[in-house]
Structures are given as structure tokens and as C-alpha cells.
Chain A
């Protein structure tokens, strides 16, 4: 195989063996794999917590746990899914794909790359260890509003703060690396408007990360000062302001939402054209729309805080700016639909997940538009309607795009085709499960059920039960995904061709499957490669 030839040819640069390969590696593919596996493990841990939550909410009454533990579960579920599952999965994909897509031999800063990965297991080890501490794990929700997270927090909050710092350092270094790679290491001839969409969306995401992760670090540091050093940033009794916490948190938090969805836009912008056998419609407008969303994400944060008692002018500003986001987001959805229109479509697993992404993400976007209407938000805010909304954009949104991307690129990563039948089975179970779980939440939210309660009034019982059944269906069906991945890693399955998909386009498809340990050590000649996303 070419792989062996490459290794023989560059024997001095072959991977080390054993555990040292993984500890010391500076190879973008190794680090990408570690990120992806780490995020899969976190997905399963965070998912188990979600299932515990749904078990408790299966029926009214307290069956399995005390409210105190319930709050710990909702907090850890949120933190682990956001920072442990979704974000590292996208970073893992960036590691694997960005160098191959831009024709670079590796990431620009390989040692930093290694470090930014290896910080994560320690950060999350620390978060999970709080479960066993006296006073229990953090119990104030993933948004950790002060003063519940300061004066009234369990002692483990300090460990929580430090692990958020570590995650932040990891993210910032990852972002710097992505920016440096994309700006400096593109193959000759690949100008910005020829970059694949995944690279574009990640470039913008990386700038968002750089801008807001320090803000998150700032806000948790202020918490630390309040808890241990006698300051009163968020304590009204000492002249501070609990609402200021929310402003700072959401100034980080809203761009964070787009950090979790922009790379997803990139992934489906590769998959839909491939299986529609048509170039992506409106490449330029996609780039402009992504940039506009990123810009708007900085001026909408207080729509998470419509009920904190902002002045009328503030409410109006944030309502209008939030509504504006619908415009570029709409453009993206319309472009994907136009890409499918008059194509020649087939429906392999990555395409199924991508189509579901477009439909269900749009549903999440539309409920987001409803939430933007400030007067109506007074009724939606902090209810299950919001829970339904953000799970629609994060689960069949971000997570489905990651799953689609894994199915799409895993033949390139492992050299083996996944089991298509199992993939389709996984898709249909997930699709049904996800809707069964999250759609009824719209209803119970509108009917008046607040978020983050361990027990509820009887009129919410029926839909909660449906949601719980759906959650188990969705959760357990992910084991098929795990099985498929393991089979590919174990090289069980048909060997994949370099092209893999009939009409896949991009530099990553010009190298062997599996991709050799080192690719593009000499820059590819773009003119010789049939390379087009319809814009060359």
C-alpha cells in the first residue's frame, strides 16, 4: 500500500510506537484522532447524564435522585456537552482536515497543538472529580449565574473555575493554530475565495474563539476573586452587580453558540454538494453570510437576559439585532436548498444526516426567531421552549453535522468504508429519537414548565414521558455509531478508494485512503488537480 511506501520513503518521520506516539505526537492527524475520540467519550458521559435527567423526569415525583443531585447533573451535562463534546469534535475535524484541505503538511504550530489537546483530559478529569467531592459537583447550571455560583456555591466551584481556565487556554491555543495554519500555509494559488467552506467557517470560528474565550476566563476569575479574595464584583451587598455577571457571561456565551454551529455549516456545505453532484450554490454569499453571523453574534448577547429588567431601549436594541441574524442564517439555508435543487441526489448516511441537519436546524432557527421577539420572550424565557430551541440547534444541528462529517471523512481517515446499512439504521433511529425527545418540549414550555426543575406539575406529565422515551431511543442508537467507528478503526470493512465519494471535491480526496501519516510535504499544484467548488 502507498501508506507503507510513504513510511519507507520517510522512515525517519514514521510515527513512534506505543503510548509515546500519542503523548508526544505533533502530527495533526494523530492529534485530530485524539480530539475526536476524546469528544466521543465525553459525548457518551454527557449523554448518560442526560439520560439520568430524563429518567428522573419520566414521571412526576422524585424517583431516582434528590433535587440537589439533579442540579449537578444538568450543570455537568451542559458543561461536558458544550466544552467536552461539541467543541473538541470540531477541533479534531479541523486538525484532520484543514491541513489536507489547504494543501499544508501539518498545522502551523504542532507542539502547541499537542499541548492544547493534552490539557483537555486534565480539565475534564478535574470537572468530573467534583462529583466525588464533599458538597458535590457544581449545581448552578452551565450558565453559572452569580451569586448562586459564588456565595451560594459548593466548595467544588473552585475546581470548576480552574478547569474552565484550562479549557479556555486549550481553545485559545487551538484557535491561534487554526488561524496561523490557514493564513500562512495554504498551497500556492489557493486564495481566500478558493478556500473550501469548512476552512472558511473554521477561520471565522477561530477568530470568535480568540475574542471571547478570554472574556470567559475573565468572568470566572472575577468569581474566584469574589469567592476567595473578598471582592464584590457580583455581590450587591458589597456594591457589586449580579446582572453584570450575566452581561459578561453572555458576551462570551452568544458568540460561543456560533462557535458551535459555524463549523457545522462548513461540514454540510461539503456534504450536500457531494451527494447532490452539484457545486455549492452561492459560495460567495455563504462566506459573506458566515461573516455577518459572526459579527452579529457580538451585539445580541442580552437577548438571553430580556427578563433581568434592562431599560426599554436596551430591550429594543437587542430585539432588533437578534432578529437580524435570521437574514444571513436564512441565506445559508436557502443556498443549501438551492444546491440540492435540480441535483442528482443519492442518500448515503452523511447526506441523510446533512439533510436532517438543514431541516431540524431550521426548526431550531425558527423557534429562535420567535424567542427574539422580546415581549413574547417574557413567556418563553427559562422554559422548556428554550430547552427545545437550543437542543434543536445543538443536537440535530451541531451534533448531526459532526456525525455526518465523521461518516463522510472516516473512509479517508481509516481507509475503510463504514457499514452503510448500520449507518442508515443509526440515522433513522437518531432522527426519530431526537424529534421524539425535543419536539414535545416546545409544548410543555409553552404550557408553562420552567427549565431545570427536578419535578413538575401533573399537566406536564404526558409530554415529559414521551421526551424521556425519545431520549433513550436517541441515546442508545448512538451505540450503533460507536460500533461503526470501532469497526472502521479495526479495519473491518471494504477498503476505500482515494476518491471515496463519486463527486467529492477538494484536496483531501486526492491523497490515499487512509491518508498517509504525512501529506502534502510538497505543496500540491492546484492547476493540475481537478479542483473546484464551482468558483475557480
Chain B
């Protein structure tokens, strides 16, 4: 969706074009009307309304119903949803219909006289029994679907999904593929300094790639608080709970990109840990798996970087991984998220600084990034934090030193 659509200038243009199309008045008149302050405010409000009524955008902005599913189970759920919905509609029409009829016909102002009947065991039994029958009829297909959803046996691929504040980690069991998937939407987009991209807040750096027509079993857990992994089009939602493992499965039929979000409040970044599933053909999946394994090996190989390279990489990685709490400006949101500008840690002993970033700080929101980021990223971030925002400490650290730091503590 083109986000410029939501800008006031655009709306003004939009309403003008609508007015000129709909009414045979000249443009000057409309300009006059629209430039009048009060009227222009009203017209802006109306523009929004018109926008609602006219823009059926490609991005399903006016979606009214549950999303269509890409899996057989998802379609069953969708079917259950529609069935129970139609039952509700019928009940509502009957009940509200009778009510509306009474409201129209049985008014005192029309001379209606009250009939003082007030009890009937027969009707009470009838309107207890009919709902019961409907419910039993509904419970049968619901039970069948639920049983199928719980059948995680005989999977082709097992993926362990771990929720972190605020990113997802995917480990493909029995392979070496293991990576974190982090939001790529920039802070500037969130704060309106940059046009919002098409998949605003629903885009990540590394997709969860799965093959189509294979039974994928997910094992969910969490590192810190409870998260919930949800992809609407796969109809999979399961809580990721620290210390416990939950299971669910999917079998995607169509290649494509499926987007979802964390569904359980998990702190301030709850809205910023999306899920992107990429379903591909079996061959593409195998190719991806091999390239992924190779890339992973390379990520741990470190090379010497210049100060400038570290700073450039550091800015990128910092904004992506650290700015949600410590802010792009390095000012943080004290006291929960301390400032890094002029901070004792960023300007103090570099070994201590490394320790905090790699191992986190117990009892605070500061997570351990040692296994979440590559040595290169860690070195770049630490260097950046020591030299950005006027900290100008002047020192830097190489990825190799991070590797030896981690080896020293046995990681």
C-alpha cells in the first residue's frame, strides 16, 4: 500500500478530485471551500471517511473476515469459523427480529396494551433445548479439527522456535542451521521521518524458510518471558513459554511469503517481533539449507576491520538490535533503559563493556547478545557505542577479540 495515501496533502487532492467528479461546480469554488480553515478541517475528516469508502487497496485494507489459509487445517478452521458465525447470525436475526417487532408494534404510543403473561415452562424448555442441540452439532466438527491439530506425529522437518525479547530464533533440528530473525523496519519509519514500507513492522532480516507439502513440526520455547508465535495464514498460534516446550505443526500447500506477529504481550518490543515464513519448493529449500550452512560457517570466521568499517557496520547493527531501548540517539529511556551517551560503561573498561553486551545484565532488561549476534556484529556495536554521540573514546575492538573473549568463558 502506498503510504502517501495517508498524508493530508494527498487527501486534499483526493477530495478535490472526488468533488470535481461528482459535482458540476467549478474548481475555484471548491478551492475556496477547501481553503477555508474550518471547512478544510471538516473536509479532511470527510476525506478520511471517503477514503474508507472508496479505497479498496491491494493490501486488503478493508479485510472484514478471517484470513484465507494456506493449509488444510487452516481451511478447516476457517470453515468452523464461518459455520459458527452463520449460526450466530441466524440466532441474532431471530432474537433481534422479534425484539424489533415488539419495539415497533408494542408501544404505548400506538395504544398497545400490555398482556401480563409472565411464565411458560414449555417455552423455557424449548429455548433451553434448541441451543443445546445446536451446540452439540457444533462441538462435533470442532473436536475433529482439534484432534487433527494436536497430531504432531510423523513430521518431516522439526524446527525449534525460541522467543526472545524481541526477536525469534529458529533452529532446524538435525542440521546446523540456527539463526535469529529480527525486525528490519527502521526507527525512522516508526517515527514518521521516512515513508513506511509496504510491509511496515512485518519484515525481518532472515525468513523462516520451509518446503511446501512437508509436515513441519515446530517446538516452541522462550528465553525470557512468554511469547506467542502466530502466523494467521498458517493458522498456527502457540505460546512460547520459558522452561517448557510446546508443539504444533503445519503443512503449507502454496509457495509464498506468510507474515505474522508475536501474540502475547512480552514487554515494550511486543509489537516489534514479526514472523516471516517463506514457503518454497523442496529443491529451493535444499539449496537454501546448504547456502545457509555455508553462510553460518562464514559468519563465525572473522577478519580484521578498519575503524571506519566497524563504525559503519556498528551503526547498522546498533539501530537494528539496540535502538529499541537505548534509542538511536543513545539517550535511552532512563531509568529503565539507561543512556549510552556519556555512560560509565561505554566510556569505561572495554572488557566490562564486552561482558555486558555478550552476557547481558541479570535482573535488568539487558539481554545477553553473545549468541544472538555474530562476533563481527558484536565488535562493531561495541566500537560504535564507544565512539558515537560524542563519546569519542577512540578505542575499538576487533571481532577476533570477541571470539577469544567468548572462548575464555567457555562458550
A positions within 8 Å CB-CB of B: 59-63, 66-68, 71, 134-136, 139-141, 145, 147-148, 151-152, 154, 235-237, 241-243, 276-285, 307-309, 312, 315-316, 319-320, 323-324, 326-327, 330-331, 333-334, 337-347, 355, 358-359, 362-363, 366-367, 369-370, 373-376, 378-379, 381-383, 443, 446-448, 450-459, 461-463, 465-466, 534-535
Contacts and interface: CB of A to CB of B under 8 A. Distances in A.
Nearest to B99: A337
A338 B270 contact: no
Contact of B244 (A309, A316, A346, A370): A309
B288 interface: no
Interface in B311-357: 333, 335-336
Contact of A319 (B119, B120, B139): B139
Contacts of A140: 265
22 contacts: A60-B6, A62-B191, A68-B336, A140-B265, A147-B242, A236-B241, A282-B119, A282-B124, A285-B124, A308-B239, A319-B146, A343-B102, A345-B107, A367-B88, A373-B142, A375-B149, A376-B81, A448-B232, A458-B61, A459-B57, A459-B60, A461-B61
A447 B237 contact: no
Contact of B237 (A71, A330, A379): A379
A448 B258 CA distance: 12
A154 B336 contact: yes
A279 B102 CA distance: 15
Contacts of A535: 118
B265 A452 contact: yes
A364 to B, nearest CB: 11
Interface in B242-274: 242-244, 246-247, 259-272
A243 B226 CA distance: 9
Interface stretch (B31-39, B196-204, B289-297, B396-404): B196-204
Interface size range of chain B in the complex: 35 or more
B192 to A, nearest CB: 5
A68 B84 CA distance: 37
B150 to A, nearest CB: 5
A76 to B, nearest CB: 14
A496 B70 CA distance: 64
B115 to A, nearest CB: 4
B84 A331 contact: no
A148 B266 contact: yes
A63 B193 CA distance: 11
Nearest to A335: B124
B95 A451 contact: no
Interface string B142-182: 11011101100000000000000100000000000000000
Given A147-B242, A315-B146, A344-B107, A362 B92 contact: yes
B146 A67 contact: no
Nearest to B112: A344
Contacts of B59: 458-459
B119 A242 contact: no
Interface string B224-245: 1110101010011111011110
Contact of A466 (B52, B116, B199, B268): B52
A-B pairs with lowest CB-CB distance, top 10: A236-B243, A453-B271, A309-B246, A366-B88, A534-B118, A447-B63, A279-B118, A448-B232, A375-B145, A382-B263
Given A60-B196, A242-B243, A465-B48, A375 B269 contact: no
B269 A450 contact: no
Contact of B114 (A145, A342, A462): A342
A191 B48 CA distance: 59
Nearest to A378: B237
B77 interface: yes
B213 to A, nearest CB: 22
A276 B95 CA distance: 17
A344 B265 contact: no
Contacts of A323: 135, 138-139
A341 B102 contact: yes
B392 interface: no
B239 A309 contact: yes
Interface stretch (B125-133, B302-310, B371-379): B125-133
A135 B143 contact: no
A68 B226 contact: no
Contacts of A148: 225-226, 265-267
Contacts of B267: 71, 139, 148, 152
B106 interface: yes
B99 A373 contact: no
B142 A374 contact: yes
B139 to A, nearest CB: 6
B85 A342 contact: no
B98 interface: yes
A344 B237 contact: no
Interface string B43-56: 00000100110010
Given A342-B112, A378-B77, 16 more contacts: A68-B268, A152-B165, A236-B244, A327-B128, A327-B132, A346-B109, A355-B99, A359-B96, A359-B99, A375-B142, A375-B149, A376-B81, A379-B81, A381-B237, A450-B261, A465-B48
B72 interface: no
Contacts of B67: 446-448
A447 to B, nearest CB: 4
B21 interface: no
A192 B190 CA distance: 60
Contacts of A235: 243
A334 B244 contact: no
The winner among A71, A370, A379 for most chain B CB atoms within 10 A is A379
A94 B103 CA distance: 30
A281 B119 contact: yes
A229 to B, nearest CB: 15
B79 to A, nearest CB: 9
A67 to B, nearest CB: 4
Interface string B3-26: 100100000000000000000000
A358 B103 CA distance: 13
Contacts of A151: 224-225
Contacts of B299: none
Given A366-B88, A452-B270, A457-B200, A382 B228 contact: yes
Contact of A457 (B57, B65, B191, B201): B201
Given A458-B3, A458-B59, A453 B127 contact: no
Contact of A370 (B84, B113, B192): B84
A454 B271 contact: yes
